[in-house]
Chain A
Amino acid sequence: MDPIIETHDLCKRFGGKRAVDGMSLAVPKGAIFALLGDNGAGKTTTIRMLTGQLPADRGSAKILGQDCWAAAEKLRLKVGYVPERPRYYDWMTIAEIGWFAAGFHAAEFYTRYQQWLDKFKLDANARLDAISKGEYAKVGLALALAIDPEVLILDEPTSGLDLLVRQEFLGSMVGMAAEGRTILISSHQIGEVERVASHVAFIASGKLLLTATMDELRQRIIRLKLRYEAEPPDAAVFGSVLQTNGSGKHWQAVLQDPRLEALETLKRTDGIHDMEVSTLHLEEIYCALLARKV
């Protein structure tokens, strides 16, 4: 099946700075795809190109097979988008902003908007300047969902929200994926998306460091720990080395794409003891990938 969102060698420069540098991503249907990176890594610039707000300098960005820039207007009817810090007309009530937005969309927009308000337990008569940050974020999500989007793009949707609201938010995201919607979510709170995501892409300085499904990731990045008698092993034999360290006769390495036969041989080598292979947290993987880059 063709990916729902697909970029190929996507590039964007601001002045001399490469904000996005050769980004190639593929997001399949029903995925919760987490775009992970620090502030300034290129998440928002990528998202702005995907949502047709910014043309690419080079490469392509497509959603549902259509070019994100050339077909931006058409895609707007199918792609729900919540920016990092949405701002609406704050003197309006929650109902009024929905009614206002409905003017740009199909007839069912407002009915669906009201259904999402109910689901999120939002008071339609509350003024936007009088509601909490979490409620404001939910209004943004309700507006994005009211177009009944096939694709949802959320830029740091949970930043600044309370824990309970964040959990509710993640819960509704899971529900949307269950309905077959495709979700791209950017975040620098890595631990939080670890459970819900089906796919991840780690980015830094505009570059893609690694993209994989969550299941693949467990196999592709591992930690090797052991104790040696004479010499520590040469980590490069066992895969692409992200990190090594050790103290005394204890030694460990974080490896990408480990060579399993080489590890089997190592296990049987004289003078190597207590060898252990384990998986890493998403956060540890991110740190290890960054450490190699520098």
Chain B
Amino acid sequence: MLFSIHADGPVPIYEQIVAQVIYGVAAGAVKVGSFIPSVRELAEQLLVHPNTVARAYQDLERLGVVTPRRGRGMEVTSQAPTACRSKRRDLVRRRIRDALREAAASALTPDEIRNLVDEELTAVNGKRR
């Protein structure tokens, strides 16, 4: 799993770690039953204090994304994909809502907005193929 952490951003480092694990699981890059790096490994890789990583892992455990396995580390749970996809869906929904508000504020009609969304969706799916 590749992490990209910005120490100088507005989002605390532990939240960035949580968000990126969730994204990884939701996107299928991190599989059920696999282990995420140990606190020490990830801390050394990202050059952040181990407590920061430990705090992120506590959050992930509380969200049911990972569970500790004695002597082996943190395992991605079977319900993780569902939980992470739903978290991601909430996030995307919020962004779409913001965009729609902006569209409404710009006096676009519902039909115009729907056309825009369809066009963009086609463009994105086209790129994927």
Contact = CB atoms under 8 A, between A and B. Distances in A.
Interface in B2-57: 5, 7-8, 10, 12-13, 39-40, 43-44, 46-52
Given A174-B43, A175-B40, A178-B39, A196 B10 contact: no
Contact of B47 (A170, A198, A279): A170
Interface string A171-198: 1001101100000000000010011111
B48 A195 contact: yes
A194 B9 CA distance: 12
Contact of A175 (B13, B44, B46, B51): B44
Contact of B13 (A30, A32, A195): A195
Nearest to A199: B49
A281 B10 CA distance: 9
Interface of B: 5, 7-8, 10, 12-13, 39-40, 43-44, 46-52
By Cβ-Cβ distance, the 8 closest A-B pairs, closest first, are: A178-B40, A178-B50, A195-B7, A198-B49, A174-B43, A171-B44, A194-B7, A174-B44
A167 interface: yes
A215 interface: yes
Contact of B49 (A191, A197, A278, A279): A197
A127 interface: no
A76 interface: no
B47 A167 contact: yes
Interface string A184-220: 0000000100111110000000000000001100100
B51 A30 contact: yes
B12 A215 contact: yes
A281 B47 contact: no
11 contacts: A32-B49, A170-B47, A174-B43, A174-B49, A175-B44, A177-B50, A178-B39, A178-B50, A195-B7, A195-B13, A278-B10
Interface string A260-274: 000000000000000
A174 B48 contact: yes
Contacts of B52: 198
Nearest to A281: B8
B50 A174 contact: yes
Interface residues on A, range: 20 to 34
Contact of B12 (A177, A178, A218): A218
Contacts of B7: 194-195
B24 to A, nearest CB: 21
Contacts of A175: 40, 43-44
Given A177-B43, A195-B46, 19 more contacts: A32-B49, A171-B44, A174-B48, A174-B49, A175-B40, A175-B43, A175-B44, A178-B43, A178-B44, A178-B50, A191-B8, A194-B7, A195-B47, A195-B48, A196-B47, A197-B49, A198-B49, A218-B12, A278-B10
Nearest to A191: B8
Contacts of A215: 12
A215 B12 CA distance: 8
A208 B103 CA distance: 51
Contacts of B5: 195
